């Protein structure tokens, strides 16, 4: 019997979204569910066969520390696109094909990799961003997919790489991320295990298939049976390395472990009649992006060939405030100028407009909210009011809860290093 590990704890779990090791990760959970179909027949009290179909879900939670690298990787854009200089416009086109391969490397005694978990073709189903006076800013992501495999012994140090279409029979391993050594950071020490195209495994070494990488030709891959690719295919390669060193992240006492209440500013205004002003008395702000998906099946294929979005995409912003005055309502109704002049006598709920804006600005300083200290901005345009709730109870402050809806989100980094 193999030696049992002395312990496996959170410090011995490293999670990768394809090429990128995810930072400030608080939890990673994957669940496999089996749906059983019992096949019956006349004159038989038992079952002729029991057919299992499996599905996999995953949830990841993070402390938000102002970097966009995790975000880019988790929406399927790739860390190598740049972690802090690109803008990410989250709309229908981005979300539709947002899928990721996850690799979780697990070490005993925080030193040697014992095994890896591969979650393949995991489609993003929800994104939640929460900013609250009660704790650090957080992000969470939910996924659903079809593939989960434990890789151990020879295959235990696994990696997943994004590949780009090159021709009908070849693909090129693409991208590199900060600190990396080349395209996809792949090297001749990587040995292929699995090649997937769109939602299917096209080559699997465990099944006797062959996958070849030509390191002298731009990291070009081929497979047997022969590939039949078209431009736009989602191509991923899973490999293993002989090295078993655990990818431990360094402690950074001077870095940012998470953003606290005094590092987050919320702005909500109507651009037609008001200016960009910080919302006062805000207790929390949450952005929830619901990406419900419909599983697409076909005869002759065991796994779904796609998971399409259930449209329209539902983006909800929930803003909670301690009650003070009605300025926030005046902003939503587009009468802020009149409110500021103290000549506004009434606000009608039918006056709320759709063209409101909300900005969330995240800074690396608790006291100095300047452009130089700005880490990340989340912009939401064309907001409309979904619901209002005003609450008062004995022993508590009066409060407002406002739900707003939108169509897209823009997340942008400023190029300021938050100290990784």
What pTM was estimated for this model as a whole? Answer: 0.90
Give the C-alpha separation, 204 to 357, whole Å.
Answer: 49
In CATH, the number for domain 261-413 is 2.30.110
Q: What is the pLDDT of residue 408?
A: 82
| 36-46 pLDDT tens trace | 888 888 999 98
| 58-93 pLDDT tens trace | 999 999 998 888 888 888 876 544 444 456 667 777
Q: Please check whether residue 164 is in contact with residue 230, taking contact to mean a CB–CB distance below 8 angstroms.
A: no
Q: What is the pLDDT of residue 60?
A: 97
Nearest to 199 by CA among 124, 127, 123, 102: 123
230 C-beta neighbours (distance < 10 Å), count: 9
Domain residue ranges of the chain, discontinuous segments joined by +: 158-243, 261-413
pLDDT, mean over the chain: 85
The better pLDDT of the pair 403, 349 is held by 403
pLDDT interval class at 415 (50, 70, 90): low
Q: What is the pLDDT of residue 119?
A: 95
| Percent of the residues in the chain that have a pLDDT greater than 70, as a whole number | 92
3-state secondary structure of 10: helix
Strand 235-241 and strand 158-167: pairing? antiparallel
Q: Please check whether residue 52 is in contact with residue 34, taking contact to mean a CB–CB distance below 8 angstroms.
A: yes
pLDDT interval class at 319 (50, 70, 90): very high
- State the average pLDDT over residues 248-276: 86
| Percent of the residues in the chain that have a pLDDT greater than 90, as a whole number | 37
Burial code of 13-38, b = ≥16 C-beta within 10 A, e = fewer?
A: bbbbbbbbbbbbbeebebeeeeeeee
- State the average pLDDT over residues 128-156: 94
- State the average pLDDT over residues 15-44: 90
Q: What is the pLDDT of residue 181?
A: 45
pLDDT interval class at 417 (50, 70, 90): low
Q: What is the pLDDT of residue 175?
A: 59
3-state secondary structure 140-194: EEEEEECEEEEEEHHHCCEEEEEEEEEECCEEEECCCCCCCCCHHHCCCCEEEEE
Q: What is the pLDDT of residue 419?
A: 53
pLDDT value at 265 more than 90: yes
pLDDT interval class at 286 (50, 70, 90): very high
């Amino acid at each position: 019997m193999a030696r049992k590990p002395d312990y496996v704890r959170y410090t011995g779990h490293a999670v990768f979204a394809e090429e990128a090791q995810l930072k400030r990760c608080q939890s990673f959970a994957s669940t496999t569910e089996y749906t059983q179909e019992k096949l019956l027949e006349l004159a038989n009290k038992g079952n002729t066969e029991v057919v299992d179909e499996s599905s996999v879900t995953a949830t990841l939670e993070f402390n938000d520390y102002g970097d966009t690298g995790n975000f880019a990787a988790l929406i399927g854009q790739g860390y190598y696109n740049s972690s802090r200089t690109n803008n990410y416009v989250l709309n229908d086109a981005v979300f539709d094909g947002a899928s990721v391969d996850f690799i979780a490397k697990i070490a005993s005694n925080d030193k040697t990799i014992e095994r890896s978990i591969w979650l393949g073709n995991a489609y993003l189903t929800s994104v939640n961003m929460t900013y609250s006076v009660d704790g650090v800013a957080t992000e969470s992501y939910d996924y659903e997919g079809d593939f989960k495999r434990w890789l151990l012994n020879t295959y235990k140090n696994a990696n997943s790489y994004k590949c780009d279409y090159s021709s009908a029979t070849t693909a090129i391993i693409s991208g590199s991320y900060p600190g990396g050594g080349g395209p996809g950071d792949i090297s001749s020490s990587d040995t292929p295990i699995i090649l997937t195209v769109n939602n299917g495994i096209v080559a699997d070494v465990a099944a006797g298939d062959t996958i070849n990488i030509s390191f002298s030709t731009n990291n070009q891959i081929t497979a047997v049976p022969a590939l039949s690719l078209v431009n736009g295919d989602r191509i991923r390669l899973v490999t293993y390395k002989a090295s078993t060193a655990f990818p431990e992240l360094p402690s950074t006492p001077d870095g940012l472990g998470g953003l606290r209440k005094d590092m987050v500013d919320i702005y909500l205004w109507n651009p037609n009649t008001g200016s960009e002003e910080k919302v006062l008395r805000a207790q929390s702000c949450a952005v929830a992006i619901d990406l419900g998906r419909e599983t697409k099946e076909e005869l002759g294929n065991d796994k779904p060939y796609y998971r399409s979005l259930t449209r329209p995409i539902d983006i909800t912003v929930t803003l909670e405030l301690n009650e003070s005055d009605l300025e926030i309502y005046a902003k939503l109704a587009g009468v802020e100028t009149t409110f500021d002049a103290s000549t506004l006598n009434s606000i009608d709920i039918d006056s709320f407009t759709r063209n409101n804006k909300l900005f969330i600005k995240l800074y690396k300083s608790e006291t100095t909210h300047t452009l130089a200290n700005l880490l990340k901005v989340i912009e939401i345009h064309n907001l409309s009011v979904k619901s209002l709730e005003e609450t008062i109870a004995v022993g508590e402050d009066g409060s407002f809860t406002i739900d707003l809806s939108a169509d897209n989100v823009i997340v942008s980094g400023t190029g300021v290093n938050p100290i990784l």
